[in-house]
Structure 1
Amino acid sequence: MTSFQEPQDQAPGQGEGLLIVKVEDSSWEQESAKQEESRDSEACRQRFRHFCYEDVGGPHEAFSQLWELCCRWLRPELHTKEQILELLVLEQFLTVLPGEIQAQVQGQHPGSGEEAVALVEDLQKQPVKTWPQVRGPSHIQGAPGWYLG
């Protein structure tokens, strides 16, 4: 965003021809919003994946709540079928990977299935000793925090 301002410490008419231009970079706001969306999406995914049938009053309510949780996570009003399928298949792909490979790939936070496959292929070419150390457990065992962006 660009805005034009007269110098504040001069009276009108002084400093003629001097124009102050202020340029604001909103890229950090976009990145912050993207990170917040990712956290929200991950929280919705966790609520969906950890839903407990016994916590509700019957099958209709359970199904209804699962539907709502799934929609909050996948946001079908905003995302295409392909984006939603990409997310689901990526999540399942990362879930079925062997433990150490899974931890390494999840630590890289791949944004697509193609990126995840490339990471696995790269890891498989390297001796295990050269893999970077992964600190702490992943978000949830076998489940990354992905969002559609």
Structure 2
Amino acid sequence: MACRWPTTDWAVRLVPLLSGKARAAYVYMDMVDSLDYDKVKAAILAKYDINAETYRLQFRSTEVKENETPKELYARLKENYAKWVQPQHHTKEEIGETVILEQFLRMLAPDLQVWIKERGPVSAAEAANLADTFMAARRKTQPWTFKRWKGSKDSNKFQHSFPTTVRAIHED
């Protein structure tokens, strides 16, 4: 219970405070759903296109603010992590799979990343299967290769790509 209000009253108390896109999200809700705070919150977040990917990007791009203490930075990181991964709703294996999926996608060519993300895999294994499907469909005309990352200072870093989908690659 927040502010000693029963959770059943939260949506009703929130509505008068809504404006703009948040109010529009509420107005177009089903009457029964509009009384459920969690559904109202989900509708507002969806209207603003705020989702796990938003929080992942915030987590990964966090920078130290001027005059911010280490504890404050830690608190912001922890909050963005919790919103991204939602550890209270997932097992440690599922969380690990989320991190592995993110890293796996980072290692692929941008066009392949987009193609896989459009299909919404929930695990790195599923993403790998999708990448295999992508490769198999193009194998006869475009062999799979490893290319050095453009501008990479570390010449041992590679990125998966297809020759026709990668712009000029820095050659040593």
TM-score interval for Structure 1 and Structure 2 normalised by the shorter chain = 0.5 to 0.7
Q: Give the direction of change, closer, same or farther, for the CA distance of 1:125–1:59 in structure 2 (3 Å limit).
A: same
Q: RCO higher in 1 or 2 (8 Å CA, sep ≥ 6)?
A: 1
Alignment of 1:82-97 (within 5 A): 82-97=93-108
How far did 1:58 drift?
2.3
- Of 82, 94, 114 in structure 2, the residue corresponding to residue 103 of structure 1 is 114
Q: Give the direction of change, closer, same or farther, for the CA distance of 1:120–1:43 in structure 2 (3 Å limit).
A: same
Query: Which residue identity does 1:87 align to in structure 2?
Result: T
- Of 53, 71, 86 in structure 1, the residue corresponding to residue 82 of structure 2 is 71
SS at match of 1:47: helix
Report which stretch shifted further, 53-62 or 94-103.
53-62
Q: Give the direction of change, closer, same or farther, for the CA distance of 1:62–1:82 in structure 2 (3 Å limit).
A: same
Q: Name the TM-score, length of structure 1 as normaliser.
A: 0.55
CA RMSD across the alignment: 3.0
Alpha-carbon distance between aligned partners in 1 of 2:77 and 2:121, rounded to the nearest angstrom: 26
Per-residue CA distance 1:81-123 (angstroms, 9 max, x = gap): 0111111110110111123322221222212222211111011
Aligned length: 99
Match of 1:26 in 2: none
- Verify the 8 A CA contact 1:56 1:62 in the aligned structure 2: no
Identity, % of aligned positions = 30
How far did 1:126 drift?
1.8
- Of 119, 122, 143 in structure 1, the residue corresponding to residue 130 of structure 2 is 119
Q: Name the TM-score, length of structure 2 as normaliser.
A: 0.48
Q: Which runs of 5 or more structure 2 residues have no equivalent in the other structure?
A: 1-38, 143-172
Q: Give the direction of change, closer, same or farther, for the CA distance of 1:80–1:121 in structure 2 (3 Å limit).
A: same
- Verify the 8 A CA contact 1:48 1:69 in the aligned structure 2: yes
Determine if the alignment matches structure 1 residue 61 to structure 2 residue 47. Answer: no
Per-residue CA distance 1:54-85 (angstroms, 9 max, x = gap): 35512221112111211121111121101111
Q: Rg: which structure is higher? A: 1
SS at match of 2:87: coil
Q: Give the direction of change, closer, same or farther, for the CA distance of 1:51–1:105 in structure 2 (3 Å limit).
A: same
Q: Which runs of 5 or more structure 1 residues have no equivalent in the other structure?
A: 1-29, 131-149
Query: Which residue identity does 1:48 align to in structure 2?
Result: F
Of Structure 1 and Structure 2, the greater helix share is in 2
